[in-house]
């Protein structure tokens, strides 16, 4: 009964519309079939006659949404292992938020390697690892395709041990990674000569494993890591010849594994560890020839393993009153 009333009402309203439509062309129709389904058809002989509901061209809107949705599906299908889950998520976002397709998540399934053309544009999530190992042509600007990346479920590494130095100088910064928040596994940057700073990483607040920065000859500081507050695994900062300070670690309060700082020839202090209160494993400080004090460890209340150190500058003065603490 109620339904019939609504139908009548719609018909009454639309009859007025029909009058207008008739002026332009022939035969828009409204009908009800035996099952009670209501059919409203705009004129078919007038070219592109529209069907307006409260002034909204609903057919056109639907077509636009379908196109948008199709675009997102195409993007998703370029992922290495697309699943229905990503498509569903994207679709529902597009259909409910027509103004903001740019805010949808784009997930890459599988490991990201040197073949960056396999990465969907606007990628926000990597369900897998990010391992740019020995990517000889890699440049800082290539990393811009990750400018919306917020999440890596697995490990993260940019590493270039075997490639000749000249190829790697093209990665001078990691600004393309500035949205990255979370890395589920280890985080490692190694043998990237030419890398001067990692300020582009300032949004990383969480890593799930080891923090490893090794043999980056030109790296001056680690300021980009100031968002990190705890490291579940080891912290390895070895053989960074240009490293002047590690102040960027100042928010780290605990390290689950070892802290290994060695062969950083220009490092004069470890003040960056001023907030560190506990180290789960060993503390190793070897061959830092410019290191004149370790006051930065003043807050460390417990070290789970051994204290390993040799070859400091002014070695005898390194631990003046801190031996009791360690
Ligand atoms: C409305 O248009 C559709 C598709 O063109 C057609 O199948 C249907 O029969 C039409 N309905 C009426 C009531 O004219
Ligand atoms: C998109 O990603 C963000 C961050 O990981 C998450 O909080 C949000 O729920 C995701 N949105 C959708 C629609 O999946
Ligand atoms: C961190 O991400 C926000 C957007 O989420 C961005 O505005 C900001 O510039 C990023 N930080 C850096 C250092 O790029
Ligand atoms: C520590 O974190 C706070 C807030 O999260 C931030 O404002 C500050 O810059 C960080 N400290 C360092 C040394 O980066």
Instruction: Write down the domain spans for the chain.
Output: 2-95, 107-325
Ligand nearest to the CA of 150: 2
Instruction: Say which range, 97-101, 276-280, 292-296, has the weakest mean pLDDT.
Output: 97-101
Reported as a single tens digit per residue, the pLDDT across 19-77 is: 333 333 467 888 888 887 888 888 777 667 777 777 777 787 787 777 666 655 444 43
**Residue 107 in tokens:** 């997930």
What number is the average pLDDT over the span 166-195?
Answer: 87
On the question of pLDDT at 1 being above 60, the answer is no
Residue 204 sits at the vertex; the CA angle it makes with 213 and 176, to the nearest 5 degrees, is 80
- From 237, 179, 228, select the one nearest 207 (Cα to Cα): 228
* Whole-number Å distance between alpha carbons of 53 and 64: 16
pLDDT at 59: 80
Reported as a single tens digit per residue, the pLDDT across 204-253 is: 999 999 999 999 999 999 999 999 999 999 999 999 999 999 999 999 99
pLDDT at 68: 66
pLDDT at 310: 61
Q: State the distance from the centre of ligand 1 to the C-alpha of 58, rounded, in angstroms.
A: 16
pLDDT at 134: 87
* 3-state SS assignment for residue 182: strand
Residue 322 pLDDT class (50, 70, 90 cuts): very low
* Ligand 1, pocket residues at CB < 6 Å: 29, 31, 39, 41
Closest-CA residue, ligand 4 atom 4, reads 227
On the question of pLDDT at 297 being above 70, the answer is yes
pLDDT at 21: 33
The correct answer on CATH 3.80.10 for the domain covering 107-325 is yes
Pocket test for ligand 1, best of 39, 49, 59 (most atoms within 8 A of CB): 39
Closest-CA residue, ligand 2 atom 2, reads 105
CA 62 to chain centre: 32
Length of the chain: 326
On the question of pLDDT at 17 being above 80, the answer is no
Q: What is the reported pTM?
A: 0.65
pLDDT at 175: 94
Instruction: Answer yes or no: is the C-beta of 179 below 6 A from any ligand 3 atom.
Output: yes
H or E stretch at 95:
helix 84-96
Closest-CA residue, ligand 3 atom 9, reads 178
Q: 233 vs 318, which has greater pLDDT?
A: 233
Q: 168 vs 198, which has greater pLDDT?
A: 198
Q: 319 vs 164, which has greater pLDDT?
A: 164
What number is the average pLDDT over the span 300-305?
Answer: 90
pLDDT at 31: 84
pLDDT at 70: 62
* Whole-number Å distance between alpha carbons of 35 and 3: 12
**Percentage of the chain modeled with pLDDT above 70:** 72
Which atom of ligand 2 is closest in space to residue 105's alpha carbon? 1
62 phi, psi to nearest 5 deg: -60, -45
For all residues of the chain together, what is the average pLDDT?
Answer: 78
pLDDT at 44: 73
Q: State the distance from the centre of ligand 2 to the C-alpha of 105, rounded, in angstroms.
A: 6
On the question of pLDDT at 102 being above 60, the answer is no
Query: What DSSP assignment string belongs to 192-241?
Result: -TT----GGGTT--EESS-EEEE--TT----GGGTT--EESS-EEEE--T
Closest-CA residue, ligand 3 atom 12, reads 178
pLDDT at 86: 42
Pocket test for ligand 2, best of 84, 91, 105 (most atoms within 8 A of CB): 105
* Whole-number Å distance between alpha carbons of 69 and 3: 33
Q: State the distance from the centre of ligand 3 to the C-alpha of 136, rounded, in angstroms.
A: 28
* Ligand 2, pocket residues at CB < 6 Å: 89, 93, 105, 150-151
Q: Contacts from 116-124 at CB under 8 Å and sequence distance 24+?
A: 116/142, 116/145, 118/78, 118/79, 118/80, 119/145, 119/146, 120/75, 120/76, 120/78, 120/79, 121/75, 121/145, 122/75, 122/148, 123/148, 123/149, 124/148, 124/149, 124/150, 124/151
Closest-CA residue, ligand 3 atom 13, reads 202
pLDDT at 320: 37
Side by side, the strands of the sheet bearing 211-214 are 130-133, 156-159, 187-190, 211-214, 235-238, 259-262, 283-286, 307-310
pLDDT at 308: 75
Which atom of ligand 3 is closest in space to residue 150's alpha carbon? 5
Closest-CA residue, ligand 2 atom 3, reads 105
């Amino acid at each position: 009964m109620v339904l019939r009333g609504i139908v009548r009402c719609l018909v009454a309203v639309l009859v007025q519309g029909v009058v207008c439509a008739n002026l332009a062309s022939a035969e828009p129709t409204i009908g009800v079939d035996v099952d009670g389904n209501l059919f409203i058809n705009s004129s078919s002989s007038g070219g592109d006659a529209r069907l307006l509901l409260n002034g909204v061209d609903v057919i056109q809107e639907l077509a636009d949404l379908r196109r948008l949705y199709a675009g997102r599906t195409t993007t998703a299908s370029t992922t290495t292992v697309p699943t229905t889950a990503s498509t569903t998520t994207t679709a529902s976002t597009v259909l409910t938020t027509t103004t903001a397709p740019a805010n949808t998540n784009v997930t890459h399934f599988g490991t990201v390697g040197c073949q960056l053309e396999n990465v969907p544009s606007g990628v926000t999530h990597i369900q897998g690892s990010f391992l740019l190992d020995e990517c000889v042509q890699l440049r800082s600007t290539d990393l811009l395709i990750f400018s919306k990346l917020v999440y890596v479920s697995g490990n993260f590494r940019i590493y270039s041990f075997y490639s000749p130095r000249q190829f790697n100088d093209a990665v001078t910064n990691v600004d393309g990674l500035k949205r990255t928040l979370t890395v589920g596994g280890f985080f490692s940057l190694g043998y990237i000569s030419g890398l001067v700073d990692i300020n582009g990483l300032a949004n990383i607040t969480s890593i799930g494993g080891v923090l490893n920065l090794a043999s980056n000859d030109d790296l001056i500081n680690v300021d980009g890591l100031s968002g990190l507050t705890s490291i579940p695994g080891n912290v390895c900062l070895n053989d960074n010849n240009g490293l002047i300070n590690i102040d960027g670690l100042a928010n780290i309060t605990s390290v689950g594994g070892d802290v290994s700082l060695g062969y950083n020839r220009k490092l004069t202090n470890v003040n960056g560890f001023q907030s560190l209160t506990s180290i789960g494993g060993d503390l190793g400080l070897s061959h830092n020839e410019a290191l004149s004090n370790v006051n930065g460890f003043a807050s460390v209340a417990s070290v789970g393993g051994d204290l390993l150190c040799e070859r400091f500058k002014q070695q005898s003065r390194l631990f003046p009153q801190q031996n009791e603490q360690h």
